[in-house]
Structure 1
Amino acid sequence: MDAAASPLQHTMSTALSVLDLVPVRTHQTSAAAVAASLSLAHRADELGYTRYWFAEHHNMPAVASTTPPVLIAAAAARTSRIRVGSGGVMLPNHSPLVVAEQFAALEALAPGRIDLGIGRAPGSDPVITQLLHRSGTTSDVERFPDHIRDILSITSPQGATVQFTSGGTYGVTATPAATSQPQVWLLGSSDYSAQLAASMGLPYVFANHFSGDGLERALSLYREQYQPSEQQPAPVTFLTANVVAADTAVEAAARALPQIRMMARLRSGRPLIALETVEQAAAAEAEDGLSAPFRAWAESTWFIGDGDDVRRRLSDFAARHGLDEVMISPVAGAHDDEPMDAAPGRARTLELLAPLAE
């Protein structure tokens, strides 16, 4: 069925965006995984999605999104309309000046299309976190709010001013002649992140795809405590969601199983592996039942089904939480015979849910 033929193409008023972790499946190289994701970004641009973000994770066999700025630059070069950004840059891993310079350069490459989503978690295990900090970064978690303010100042056309204790000042700008700056979003899944975003007058993204616990409270705190800023006079937020849409509910369930098994590994402390294919996941599940304790949770919190069902549920989800936008993480697995440099299941999810016809 052609994407343009979907009966729901023009019925969903909620804007849709995409979060990509650049999944790596069995026997797939990083090069092929990146190629598949860049192709997906191009497809999302064609279909009218609002933004396309890359996450930051490290040392995970099933995830190739380690460097959001590099992926954003590549995606910006392959798209023309869609906003591209990070979901997010894990700020404790980086110097605020480096982040500011990277995203100011991206803004210069694609003016008006760059989002800088910032998170507080390390995005990996303690060993990798220590390796990331060996570069001497001063972006410790305790100074997270200060470092966000630094980035906001440094990426602005006016730049920031360093005040020396001995007297005197020093000007710092991310680019010599900025005319615009990336849109900064604060990411999180806790009361802390919601309250910090509110106090700083920043748009906020709740990481619902990872953990839906505390969602209603976080949104309530953000909206009730919001302090208007010049850039953002009113609170703005959207939620992320794991999504698998297919032409049939049976196909959607089959394509969801590899990711459910990966989450089961992650939450049960088992060794992580590359993402299984649909066929590998089905065969392994028949033997070990790994996903059994997590399947009901995934089916109740993820959006898995045929296009009509998923689109209806996403619309209800957005209305229930007062959202103007939902960012989907298309987690459909791949079949054994599908090309390594493409992601047909994830592309079909986007096509079935597309807010605009081609």
Structure 2
Amino acid sequence: MPVRTDQSTGDAIAATVGLAQVADRLGFTRFWVAEHHNMPAVAATSPPVLIAHLAAQTESIRVGSGGVMLPNHAPLAVAEQFALLEAAHPDRIDLGIGRAPGSDPVTSMALRGAAGRDDTDIENFPQYLDDVMALMGTEGVRVAIPRQDYVLKATPSASSEPNMWLLGSSMYSAHLAAAKGLPYVFAHHFSGQGTAEALAVYRSEFQPSELTPEPVTFLTVNASVAETAEEAAALMLPNLHMMAKLRTGQPLTALDLVEDAEAVELHPQALELVESAFGRAVVGTPEEAASQVRQLADQFGVDEVMVNPVASARRGTDPRTAPGRNRTLELLAKELL
């Protein structure tokens, strides 16, 4: 949920609701929101809150997290939130889980609170993953206490369970998703490196589970589509500038409007990062972009490609709308759906 320089948080939420409704109307399969903290350009700090808001204002599209950063949260809290979402919106909720903090170390410590959670949360991530799955199930988790076993499970129980996915951008996540028998999402949009290797490891090591008998994969890619390739590239530029700032340790700001990004003179390191990101993104005319999506699906053999429509806006745009993002989905849908 990007926040442009011309938007308040409320504006960004309204624009994202509009985008989700466009995706729903066009027949896209799922719409996910991420968890990022203390980042001026991103308003998505609480996936379950946003999922509830988006699911209530759409009809049939699956809504989920991309993802919940599990080390930041108690497994029971996550299980209860998503059990409740599933009860409210049966068979429409996806729980994507990640291991990264989704922020800087100071913010992560503040999120974890006075209980003193630390780096052991990363070490315990596989157990937390098991706990979330079990807590959302009908049998729950048995906790040993003096003189009895206490059964703990998410309440209220739903008649169905959210679809669960493991997110990652490394070999660690590929090994873990395979061992747990979970569907696997690779963050190709993030680095574009190691995608083939991670997917190969996941498929070769996959252990069938009750919910996922065969390997299931998809990858993510940034996308900007317009009537001309030049306009698509211009609309994508603010997002790539923001990512370059993040990678080079510069102070983060809200997402630039297109005209402001075009006026920025990048230093060599940032320029190299921007050019690299253009090379692995889906960007161009509808025909060019659709061909790029198909090529990604064929190259990596994935079941789905998830596009992150990162187009910003030009000066004078209604701040409660995101026409570049909407248009990206509309133009892709004409070619692919």
TM-score interval (norm. to shorter):
over 0.9
Secondary structure in 1 aligned to 2:177?
A: helix
> Is the contact made by 1:245 and 1:310 (CA closer than 8 Å) also made in structure 2?
yes
The percent identity for this pair of structures is 53
- 2 CA distance for matches of 1:289 and 1:31? 35
Pairing of 1:1-358 with structure 2 (within 5 A)? 22-136=1-115, 140-164=121-145, 166-285=146-265, 291-354=270-333
Q: Is the 2:84–2:158 contact (alpha carbons within 8 Å) kept by the matching residues of 1?
A: no
| Deviation per residue, 1:303-342 (Å, 9 max, x gap) | 1111110111110110111112101111001111111001
Change (3 A) 1:207 1:142: same
Structure 1 stretches of 4+ moved >3 Å: 287-291, 355-358
Q: Which runs of 5+ in 2 are unaligned?
A: none
TM norm structure 2: 0.96
Q: Which structure is higher in RCO with an 8 Å CA cutoff and minimum separation 6?
A: 1
Residues 51, 83 of structure 1: 8 Å contact kept: yes
User: Post-superposition shift, 1:357?
Assistant: 9.2
Decide whether the 8 Å contact of 2:84 with 2:157 is kept in 1. Answer: no
Unpaired stretches in structure 1, ≥5 consecutive residues: 1-21
**Deviation for aligned residue 1:175:** 2.0
The answer as to whether partners of 1:42 and 1:79 remain within 8 angstroms in 2 is yes
For the residue of structure 2 that corresponds to 1:103, the secondary structure is helix
Task: Tell me by how many angstroms 1:156 deviates.
Answer: 1.1
Task: After TM superposition, give the deviation of residue 163 of structure 1 in Å.
Answer: 2.2
Q: Is the 8 Å Cα contact of residues 35 and 102 (structure 2) preserved in structure 1? A: yes
Aligned residues: 335
Alpha-carbon distance between aligned partners in 2 of 1:167 and 1:218, rounded to the nearest angstrom: 46
Q: Distance in 2 between matches of 1:167 and 1:194?
A: 40
SS in 2 for 1:354: helix
Change in 2 beyond 3 A, CA 1:341/1:160: same
| Counterpart amino acid of residue 147 in structure 1 | Y
Q: Distance in 2 between matches of 1:260 and 1:313?
A: 18
Pairwise CA RMSD? 1.7
Post-superposition Cα deviations, 1:170-198, rounded to whole Å, max 9, x if no partner, equal 11221244211111100011111110000
Structure 2 SS opposite 1:140: helix
Give SS of 2:263's match. helix
Per the normalisation by structure 1, the TM-score is: 0.90
Amino acid at match of 1:224: S
